[in-house]
Amino acid sequence: MTKVLTDARSIRIKGRSFLAVMLSPDLPIDDWLIRLDDLAARSAGFFLGRPVVLDLTDLQIDKPQLKELIAELAKRNVSIMGIEGARPSVLGSGMPPALKGGRSASDIEVQPNEPVDSSSKPASPELRPATTQSIVIREPVRSGQSVIFPEGDVTVIGSVASGAEVIAGGSVHIYGALRGRAMAGSIGNASARIFCRKLEAELVAIDGIYKMAEDMAPNLRGQAVQLWLEDDAIMAEKII
């Protein structure tokens, strides 16, 4: 019997891009998980609700080890949306899909420029416009807000509260106290820097290298500081 559709309806398919966090484990995995736990403990909610891609490029693990790694991440509420750089032999049924060819800035759809205001949805990222290579936020970034601008520099005329974050593809300039998180060079820019008038940060990062506030020299606390990357280590000094 042939079934005839009498009420045909179109299926709407839309393209949409999301900014994902990429995790690149290294061996031994147990030691890497300890470092991940340390980061999560000192920056609560960092992975909460974020799409995460697992980068396995050049990582020599087999299928059972990968399944165990994914399970360990799930225990930590880290949900893997895809796997990049994995050998086909280590992937299988029930695992996140293989990804390739990911691009950073050009794939992100953003809205026209508007003031940062995520008070109604404090956990949702605020994507900024792609029409310029820098943006200026003319008000403080409140706790729970995220300012994400992969295309260039971010300048905040005010403070970044504890529990807030600023993520830039270029450098980050904070003309106030940095009490939350600041991440510069987020799409692979080792020359990016972080500048702030008063360093009280929960976390800073440049080109994927992280540093917690308690790991910095005590004499920098509360000072005007610039931070940069040198030989895969974050360096910091007072701004005179």
All domains of the chain, ordered by start, with CATH?
21-99 (3.30.70), 125-238 (2.160.20.70)
The SS3 of residue 220 is helix
Residue 110 structure tokens: 């953003």
- Return the pLDDT at 164: 87
The SS3 of residue 20 is coil
pLDDT range class, residue 94, cuts 50, 70, 90: confident
- Return the pLDDT at 228: 92
Q: Percent of the chain scored above 90 by pLDDT?
A: 18
Across 45-68, average pLDDT: 79
Cβ burial, residue 95 (10 Å; 0-12/13-18/19+): middle
- Return the pLDDT at 169: 87
The most confident of the ranges 104-108, 202-206, 208-212 is 202-206
CA–CA gap between residue 166 and residue 178 (Å, rounded): 10
Residue type, 227: L
CA proximity to 216, closest of 225, 207, 186:
225
Asked whether the predicted pLDDT for residue 126 surpasses 90, the reply is no
Residue 35 structure tokens: 């470092």
Buried b (16+ CB within 10 A) or exposed e, 29-64: beebbeebeeebeebeebbeebebbbbbeebebeee
Asked whether the predicted pLDDT for residue 171 surpasses 90, the reply is yes
Asked whether the predicted pLDDT for residue 184 surpasses 50, the reply is yes
pLDDT range class, residue 193, cuts 50, 70, 90: very high
Q: Mean of the per-residue pLDDT values for the chain?
A: 77
Give the max Cα distance, the chain: 83
Q: Measure the N-to-C terminal CA separation of the chain; round to a whole number of Å.
A: 83
Asked whether the predicted pLDDT for residue 145 surpasses 80, the reply is yes
Across 29-39, average pLDDT: 85
pTM for the model: 0.55
Strand partners, 182: 166, 204
Asked whether the predicted pLDDT for residue 87 surpasses 60, the reply is yes
Cβ burial, residue 125 (10 Å; 0-12/13-18/19+): middle
Concatenated DSSP letters for 75-126? HTT--EEEEES--GGG--TTSPPEE----SGGG---PPP-----SSSTTSEE
